[in-house]
Amino acid sequence: MHNREEKLPGIKLTVIQYVIVGILLILIFGLWRLQVVGAENYHALAEANRIRKVPILAPRGKLFDREGRLVVDNYPSVSCFLVREQGHDYMADLPIIARGLNMTVDQIDAILKKYRTAPKYQPLPLKQDITPDEEEFIEAHRDEFPELETVEEQRRLYPKDGFAAHLIGYVGEVSEDMLNNPQYAYYEPGDVVGKSGVEQSYDSLLRGQDGSQDVIVDSHGREVGKLGTEHAVPGKSLKLTIDIDVQRAAENALGDRNGAIIAMDPHTGEVLAMVSRPTFDPNDFAVRIGREEWNKLITDPEHPLLNKAIQAQLAPGSTFKIIMSFAGLEEGVAQDMKVHCSGGVSLFGTYQKCWVHSGHGEVDIHKAIYQSCDVFFYTLAARLGIEKIAKWAHAVGIGEKTGIDLPNEVSGVMPSAEWKMKYFHQRWYPGEVTSVGIGQGAVTATPVQMARALSGIASGGVMKRPHVVFPDELPEDYRKAMYDSFPGSGDKAIQIDPDSWETITDAMALVLSPAGTDPSAHLEGIDFAGKTGSAQTMSNALAARLGHAHSVKDNAWFVGFTPRRNPDIVVCILFEAGEHGKLAGRLAARVIEAYVNKQRRLENNLIAKAPQKVDVGALWDNPTAPKIFGGKQVVKPQGDQAEMWGGHFYLTVPPVVASAKAP
């Protein structure tokens, strides 16, 4: 018994020794892992605790018109961010912070809820574009509220009164839906992104690349020093194709009327002006639009956010008769066709009225165009049939997107038997074609489509893709990708018989004569051609059934250009509820006149004042001595009077002086 009692302490001692050794090994391994293996990682974490990255937001690129005049600028702004990684209980500070920033606790709670999934290290945008008083509040409470950080940034400054608003677009905070889209994979919550117009189409170029500054902070989050700075890269500025003078003329012409205007150079596809009414103020979006204002915009029955120049799909009315004339002439049907208009015609068992109830008498293709005879085009449509009409309408881009470099363009509709079977599972009835012949029925088009289609016919079949940014402003890879981003019929050429071309354009010039449908739009001394159109917004039968027989007005259309062949500018007007196409024609005339007057003024200035640069540097042996040049005494040019080139001064002089020889 004595021996057993002697052995027990020895076993216990051995176990205790092994336990102690094991604990020491674990401690040694832990220290080795902390001090050797994890040294670099923990060093980085320690650095992060004392270094804070303050974002430097890149200013968006500016927008200029075709002559280099500033359209969209930026202005300096300060925003307040909430930094959550200070180890400070910021939740207890919210009531005081809310009062200092003129907010409510509920508003701040909503922001925290919105960014609840954001990483802890990411500062949250608490309030944008803060006032000087709010900025002073933050600075005065730096020690109390280290979680508040101010960041300087550049915000958009748009033209007043919605000038070119639909073309330019607006910016706003990236939404959750957008963040789930691979297209916005590089964006983070709180980032500003283009949401419509040029701002959206060219966002990746305009937005630039944000930078940051490393700031040293103490354990309480207070700034005690600064380290390196990664400078922001400003966004690329872009030159738009619009001409501010033409744009202003279009804005003034449409005024407060609902509708749209688009002016375009048919030679290049450059959009010179684009207006949509009603409009909105993009400056409301530059900071953060309120929920009440946003709801008002999206519930407005007039759709102020809709760019009607590229998104209004409406019956084009009698402007479509030019496409009908083109189809009829190219098919060899309309050249010798004559009809007698007595105020209507019976086709397919239905009597179709002409808009002139007393009739137009004997009508050929010329008269049918400039007097817009419905009976002629009912008859022409019946002879052509829907498939031939659709063939030539598609040739000039009706029913297809143009490919303009703006988001959300719509395609309109060009009906056909195939189209009706595909979408309605019904066969096409021959009697349906007569309404198509006058641009009614199922035909719908946008102003940009009609502008491009009719300018293509007036240009002998050359059709250009409309665009609002000069392609040479874009990087090569971006330029190639642009056409994939904005699918459409693009640039193309179609064959037009020269006789058809002359017939149509000469008749369109007569539209503005005393015998035409819009003599009030005639411009003295300007070769102005066009076509009026009035399109019903609902059938007479439906209007009567709804009790709106006398209150529903037709939409007024007009497409015009100058000169009549190979035009330099085409203008399409949609005047909603304008009733008569001639009223839209008067609006187009104002835009055409403004454009032509400007071109003439520029040409006169170039002829009368074209400067020439003459090398006068060789005339001076003594640079300060006066010399006689062209019969006038001149001195060595200074400053902006001369340019230095290849070691010589070049003096800018009028032609009469430049033509004289030095003695």
Is the residue at 46 inside a domain?
no
- CA 132 and chain centroid, separation: 33
436 has pLDDT over 50: yes
Q: For position 638, what pLDDT does the model report?
A: 46
CA atoms of 149 and 183, how far apart (whole Å):
30
CA atoms of 264 and 228, how far apart (whole Å):
49
607 has pLDDT over 70: no
**172 confidence band (pLDDT: 50, 70, 90):** confident
| Contact (Cβ atoms closer than 8 angstroms) between residue 586 and residue 576 | no
**655 confidence band (pLDDT: 50, 70, 90):** very low
Tell me, yes or no, whether 17 and 60 share the same domain.
no
Tell me, yes or no, whether 490 and 552 share the same domain.
yes
User: Which residues are CB-neighbours of 420 under 8 A, at least 6 positions away?
Assistant: 426, 427, 428, 442
131 has pLDDT over 70: yes
The rounded radius of gyration (Å) of the Cα atoms in the chain is 36
The 10s digit of each residue's pLDDT in 306-317 is 999 999 999 999
Is the residue at 663 inside a domain?
no
> Rounded to 10 degrees, what is the CA torsion of 580, 586, 587, 588?
110
Place of tokens 């003329």: 249
At 634, which amino acid appears? V
120 has pLDDT over 90: no
Q: 190, 207, 239: which is the final residue of a domain?
A: 239
Tell me, yes or no, whether 188 and 334 share the same domain.
no
* H or E element in which residue 615 lies: strand 612-615
What angle is formed at CA 391 by the lines to CA 387 and CA 397, rounded to 5 degrees? 135
| Contact (Cβ atoms closer than 8 angstroms) between residue 95 and residue 144 | no
Tell me, yes or no, whether 525 and 595 share the same domain.
yes
Is the residue at 45 inside a domain?
no
Question: 75-89: buried (b, 16+ CB within 10 Å) or exposed (e) per residue?
Answer: eebbbbbbbbebebe
Tell me, yes or no, whether 200 and 259 share the same domain.
no
The 10s digit of each residue's pLDDT in 215-246 is 676 655 566 666 777 788 899 999 999 999 99
Question: 191-205: buried (b, 16+ CB within 10 Å) or exposed (e) per residue?
Answer: bbbbbbbbbbbbbeb
Q: For position 36, what pLDDT does the model report?
A: 63
Going by the DSSP 8-state scheme, the letter that residue 445 receives in this structure is B
Tell me, yes or no, whether 600 and 635 share the same domain.
no
Phi, psi at residue 188, to the nearest 5°?
Answer: -125, 160
**154 confidence band (pLDDT: 50, 70, 90):** confident
CA atoms of 148 and 153, how far apart (whole Å):
16
Place of tokens 């008498």: 361
CA atoms of 128 and 535, how far apart (whole Å):
47
Structure tokens at 137: 């509040």
Is the residue at 43 inside a domain?
no
At 264, which amino acid appears? M
> 56-60, 141-145, 594-598: which has the highest mean pLDDT?
594-598
Q: 562, 587, 604: which is the final residue of a domain?
A: 604
| Contact (Cβ atoms closer than 8 angstroms) between residue 410 and residue 401 | yes
Is the residue at 42 inside a domain?
no
In three-state secondary structure terms, 560 is strand
Q: Say if strands 339-341 and 192-194 run parallel, antiparallel, or are unpaired.
A: unpaired
**620 confidence band (pLDDT: 50, 70, 90):** very low
Tell me, yes or no, whether 522 and 618 share the same domain.
no
656 has pLDDT over 80: no
Tell me, yes or no, whether 205 and 159 share the same domain.
yes
The 10s digit of each residue's pLDDT in 393-406 is 999 999 999 999 99
User: Which residues are CB-neighbours of 583 under 8 A, at least 6 positions away?
Assistant: 556, 575
Structure tokens at 662: 């030095």
263 has pLDDT over 70: yes
Give Dmax over CA atoms of the chain in angstroms: 143
CA atoms of 320 and 372, how far apart (whole Å):
10
Tell me, yes or no, whether 152 and 297 share the same domain.
no
Tell me, yes or no, whether 211 and 88 share the same domain.
yes
536 has pLDDT over 90: no
Kindly report the average pLDDT of the chain as a whole number: 84
Mean pLDDT of 3-21: 67
Whether this model's pTM surpasses 0.85: no
Q: For position 173, what pLDDT does the model report?
A: 81
CA atoms of 310 and 274, how far apart (whole Å):
10
| Integer angstrom CA distances of residue 94 from 91, 135, 137, 141, 145 | 5, 16, 14, 13, 10
Question: 291-305: buried (b, 16+ CB within 10 Å) or exposed (e) per residue?
Answer: eeeeeebeeeeebbb
Is the residue at 638 inside a domain?
yes
The 10s digit of each residue's pLDDT in 26-57 is 888 777 776 665 666 655 555 545 676 767 78
Is the residue at 481 inside a domain?
yes
Higher pLDDT, 423 or 655: 423
**654 confidence band (pLDDT: 50, 70, 90):** very low
DSSP string, 472-493: GGS-HHHHHHHHHHS-SS-SEE
Tell me, yes or no, whether 226 and 259 share the same domain.
no
Q: What is the CATH number of the domain that holds 458?
A: 3.40.710.10
For residue 428, which of 412, 415, 441, 439 has the smallest C-alpha distance?
415
Q: For position 613, what pLDDT does the model report?
A: 47
3-state secondary structure string across 272-327: EEEEEECCCCHHHHCCCCCHHHHHHHHHCCCCCCCCHHHHCCECCHHHHHHHHHHH
In three-state secondary structure terms, 441 is coil
CA atoms of 434 and 55, how far apart (whole Å):
64
Residue 30: exposure state from Cβ atoms within 10 A (0-12, 13-18, ≥19): exposed
* H or E element in which residue 448 lies: helix 447-458
617 has pLDDT over 70: no
Structure tokens at 635: 């001195």
614 half-sphere exposure, CB direction, 13 A CA radius: 21
Tell me, yes or no, whether 397 and 490 share the same domain.
yes
Is the residue at 545 inside a domain?
yes
Could you report how far apart the first and last alpha carbons of the chain are, in Å? 141
Number of structural domains, the chain?
A: 4
Q: 221, 239, 257: which is the final residue of a domain?
A: 239
**Structural domain for 378, as ranges:** 244-604
The 10s digit of each residue's pLDDT in 363-418 is 999 999 999 999 999 999 999 999 999 999 999 999 999 999 999 999 999 999 99
| Integer angstrom CA distances of residue 357 from 344, 346, 418, 579 | 7, 14, 35, 17
| Contact (Cβ atoms closer than 8 angstroms) between residue 480 and residue 508 | no
